[in-house]
Structures are given as structure tokens and as C-alpha cells.
Amino acid sequence: MWGGRFAEGPSAIMREINASIPFDKALWRQDIAASKAHVAMLGAQGIVSAEDAAAIAAGLDQVAAEYEAHGVPENWDLEDIHMTTESRLAELIGPAAGRLHTARSRNDQVATDFRLWVRDAIDQADAGLEALQVALVTRAGEHADSIMPGFTHLQTAQPVTLGHHLLAYFEMAARDRSRLADARARLNQCPLGSAALAGTGFPIDRQATAHALGFAEPTRNSLDAVSDRDFALDYLMAAAQIALHLSRLAEEFIIWASQPFGFVTLPDALSTGSSIMPQKKNPDAAELVRGHAGRIVGSLTSLMITMKGLPLAYSKDMQDDKPPVFEAAGLLTLCLAAMEGMVAGATFRTQRMRAAAELGYATATDLADWLVRQAGIPFREAHHITGAAVKLAESRGVALDALPLADLQAIDARIDERVFAALSVDASVASRASYGGTAPEQVRLRVAEARGALGLE
């Protein structure tokens, strides 16, 4: 490839550091598709003869069939997927293969291929999130009335419903899908035809190639088109946020599955045992989701650092853009599948959850609210009275609603027997009926809305 300019070939070190075929062979489908769109345009514009265009297209189909059947060969002398494909094409159809690279450069070629690959990765992640949402909303509907402790600081705060808790992750996934949609819309411009950096003097039709590849339009600046990797960063930023949400959900399952909590039994298919302790059932899939989040965030950081100081236009540093994206996408696909399976297959121990809510003074806020509503006491004073009641109940090892009325009235005489209707966990969750609250009626409304949004109704 370099014979016309250099008297000597590259050294072994240069050959090894320069070759990207071990990883960019993953782009072969996108490279074939972009090449076919390009040569079809060249033929339509009369830049390449119809005969040569047809021969090139047929040859590309044959190369694709070989890759599909046997994989992409790794000849490091050919450096990358683009030259590997062009070289094999020349072996198949002869000198006409050399016309394929008319009016394009590897710079706009790789930018196009990579955008196509990232667009596919976005669609795959979105499908994974949708499957997770279906699992979440299905289980939320089953547990609209199941009471569990809600936590702040991992301390019992107020009773909530399990359905409400699961729907919180549904909302996170909805935001994640919106980020993916935004990233997809921004990347959906086609760099092909920008050539090395300045465009081309050939009378190409960039609209035709853009539309053939499913892009909304061509890119508007050739310098930016070949040097832009914002689309990859957008994807990694969205992937990192998804990974953080999945890690939080995984952590919940890890805690809930531990013996002190005992809120959930995880699916056997997503758990492992111990080599020495036969009683163990370890939440390894959830722990790996939690761990993989760090690697996905690391992929984002890696590409951000690579891009931070590059002048226009293309620099070879950008060859390192693909490994972090490929790694993050692979990990994200696994994590989404693991958490979808965990949500769908978990057995929730709702009686244990309810008992934990009843033991944690989770209705203390309900007592304070009752004092405000029924006795007209300012909230800060009600807060103080409730704290004294909790201290008394704690000293006796009983729940708030187990304290005798006389003891409550000894704390504040304005308390009467009506208070007990507010102190059960059922009354507590039922009272949280504001829009978006944990009351079962609200949970069922949100489940119905979510199912409608997912097309499940």
C-alpha cells in the first residue's frame, strides 16, 4: 500500500503497533454495506462503469459470504478491515477492485463503518432495556400491594410497596432509552464522501449513499466528519449511565438475597455455589453486573482521554476508539440480559419484607403526620413527640402500634384512639396516594401507563 512513497517496508514494531485488524474486523458487515452503497453511487454517477460497479458489488457479496462462513482473516500487513476486504476483492475480480476506493478515503470509510456499528449497538441496548422494562412492570403489577420497608441511608424509613420500588427502576430505564434515542439521532449523519478531510473533486451524490445506508443526511463538514467521535462518546456516556443503574439494581438484589435480609431468592440459573461451603448460593451474576459497571465507565474514560487533545482532522490515535466501545457494548449486552433474567425469575419473599417494614418503626412519619392533621400541631413539634414515642417503643421492643393508648397520651395528651388507624403499614402505604406515590392504587395506575407505553395493552 505504501510502495509508491517509501523505499522500505515498515519494521516489525511498526507493523504490530499499526495493525488494527485484530479488533476492527468486527466492522466487516458495516464495511461491506458501506462499500456496496459507495460503488452503487459511483456507478449511478458514471464515475465507474456499470460493468465494473456490478463486478465490484458481486465481489463484495462473495467476500461477505466468505467472512460469514470462515471469519475475517488476520493479515497484519493489510493493517485493517478496509484493506483486507479490498485485497480479497482484487483477488476475486482483478484490477477493477481498485476502482472501489475512488472518491473516498479510509478516514471517511472508517467513520462511516463505525457510525453504522454504534447505531446497531444502540438499537441492541435499547432492545435490552425494553426487555428489562417488561420484566420490571410485570413484577410490579404482581406486587402492587406487597409491603416492604423503604430505605434512606440503608435505614428503614417508611413502608412502600415492592411494586413501587421496582417501578423506580422502570423510570431509570426509560431515561436510559431516551439518552440512547438522543445519541442515535445525533449520529445519524453519513460521513461517506468526506474523503480524507477536504471532500472530493468527483461528482459524487452524498445524499444517495446516506439514504442507502439509512442515515438521515450527509455530514455537513468534511473536516468534522472524519475526526468526530462524539457519536462513540455519546454511546459510551449512555452505556455508562445504564451500567450505573444496572449496578444499583444488582446491589439491591445482592443485599436482599443475603440471609439477614432474606427478601428474595435468586434464580438458580443466575447464581453459583461455593467450592468449599455446600450451603452457599452466591449472587455472582449480580456481583459481575456491579463489577462490569466499572469497566464500562472505564471505557468511556479511555476514549475521552484519547480524544481530548487531538487537532483536526484525523490522527492515528483514533484507531484506539474502537476497543473501548466494543468492550463496553459486549459487557452491556450481558448485564442487561442478566438483570432482565434476575427480575423475571426472582422469588420475592413478601412476608419477610412485610415483617421487616413492621419492625423498623417505618410508620413514625405517619404518627407525625396524624398529629399535624388531627391535632393541629406544627410539624416540628409533632416530629419531637413522635421521636419520644419511637424511643419508648424501642425500649420495650414493640412496634409503634403496639404501644397502649395511655402510654402515647402520657407523651402527649392530644393523641387519641384514632391514631391507631394511621399506624399500620397498610394504612401508611394507602395514605401515600399522591401522584407518583407508593399507594397500591397509584402503583396500579403507573403499571397500566407503563404497559401501554410498552405496547403490552
Positive or negative, the CA dihedral 129, 134, 139, 141 is positive
70 noted as active-site residue: no
Does the annotation count 274 as an active-site position?
Answer: yes
Task: Return the C-alpha cell found at 396.
Answer: 420495650
Q: Is 135 within 8 Å of 157 (Cβ atoms)?
A: no
Question: Please, which residues have CB within 8 angstroms of residue 179's CB and are 6 or more apart in sequence?
Answer: 237, 238, 241
Pairing of strands 147-152, 189-190: unpaired
- For residues 141 and 345, give the distance between their C-alpha atoms in angstroms, rounded to a whole number: 15
CA distance 73 to 187: 30
Active-site annotation holder among 153, 275, 395, 434: 153
Q: Which residue has the cell 445506508?
A: 213
DSSP state of 402: G
Q: Secondary structure of the chain: what % helix, strand, coil (to 5)?
A: 70, 5, 25
DSSP structural state of residue 9: P
CA distance 98 to 87: 9
Residue from 49, 258, 274, 315 carrying the catalytic annotation:
274
DSSP of 228-257:
--HHHHHHHHHHHHHHHHHHHHHHHHHHHH
Residues whose CB is less than 8 angstroms from the CB of residue 30 and which lie 6 or more positions away in sequence, other chains included: 112, 113, 114, 116, 117, 120
Which residues are catalytically annotated? 153, 274
